[in-house]
């Protein structure tokens, strides 16, 4: 039996990177997947790719900072697939790059926290009631080692938003665990994605980022997706409230 057989999942940020890889993997493991992101054309392409591989997916483009969009994704899962079991709240942004923290505008600060943290809360707010109706489920947030185990210069807003996700994870896990809903944060290390390349945008920076990991390389999105699958599946049935580091050893590396 496949790991997510007869499960329904929402994946945000599904048009590229970790979300794209996770959506394909979830579908290959039997989940019916609702795909969310801003870029509708890329979502429709992914939906077709999943269908071509024998899976089931439906796409809805929108802005994760809009509460009505968070609600619409859940409603689509219910109307098309009968309910909701898994939510991978993965959408996010880097925020301002190359800007000292004392020079970040209030608008940029608020935008980064809204896209990364508030959108995660809005997603969970509307996902939880449907999971409770099913007797449980799994909510996953994409956080980061940045702001959790390591501080980077010029990343204050990003670090604050991602660290906030860990606090949100722990609170929701404690609140809803007795009702069967597990909530976990996934903390990737450096990953070869379009978003990652916004930060590591020269050969020199890429080599530096590789060097600070114990494994001396970047992850592929597919590697991170496998850890998301673990948290989504019954393989992690006794795992909740965790900040799962999937970071290639960047948090412990000093060489």
Written as six digits, the tokens of 68 are 């009505």
Which residues are known to be catalytic? 158
Written as six digits, the tokens of 40 are 């509708």
Vertex 188 angle, CA 30 and 253, to 5°: 140
Vertex 154 angle, CA 149 and 160, to 5°: 50
Pairing of strands 56-61, 8-12: unpaired
Within 13 Å, how many C-alpha atoms sit on residue 100's CB side? 2
Tell me the C-alpha to C-alpha distance, in Å, between residue 89 and each of 70, 101, 115, 116, 180: 10, 26, 11, 9, 18
Query: For the chain, what is the radius of gyration of the CA atoms?
Result: 17
As a whole number of angstroms, the distance between CA 243 and CA 62 comes to: 28
Residue-level length of the chain: 255
Closest by CA to 175, choosing from 215, 101, 121, is: 121
As a whole number of angstroms, the distance between CA 8 and CA 4 comes to: 8
């Amino acid at each position: 039996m496949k790991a997510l057989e007869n499960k329904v999942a929402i994946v945000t940020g599904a048009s590229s990177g970790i979300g794209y890889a996770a959506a394909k993997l979830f579908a290959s493991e039997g989940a019916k997947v609702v795909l969310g992101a801003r870029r509708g054309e890329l979502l429709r392409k992914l939906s077709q790719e999943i269908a071509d591989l024998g899976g089931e997916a439906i796409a809805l483009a929108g802005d994760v900072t809009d509460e009505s969009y968070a609600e619409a994704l859940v409603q689509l899962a219910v109307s098309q697939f009968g309910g909701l079991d898994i939510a991978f709240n993965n959408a996010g942004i880097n925020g301002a790059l190359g800007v000292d923290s004392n020079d970040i505008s209030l608008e940029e600060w608020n935008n980064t926290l809204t896209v990364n943290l508030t959108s995660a809360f809005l997603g969970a707010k509307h996902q939880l009631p449907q999971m409770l109706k099913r007797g449980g489920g799994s909510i996953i947030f994409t956080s980061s080692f940045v702001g959790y185990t390591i501080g980077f210069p010029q990343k204050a807003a990003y670090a604050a938003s991602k660290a906030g996700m860990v606090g949100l994870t722990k609170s929701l896990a404690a609140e809803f665990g007795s009702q069967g809903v597990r909530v976990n944060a996934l903390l990737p290390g450096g990953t070869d994605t379009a978003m990652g390349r916004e930060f590591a945008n020269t050969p020199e920076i890429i080599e530096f980022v590789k060097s600070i990991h114990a494994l001396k390389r970047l992850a592929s999105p597919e590697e991170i997706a496998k850890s998301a699958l673990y948290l989504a599946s019954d393989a992690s049935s006794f795992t909740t409230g965790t900040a799962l580091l999937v970071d290639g050893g960047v948090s412990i590396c000093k060489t």
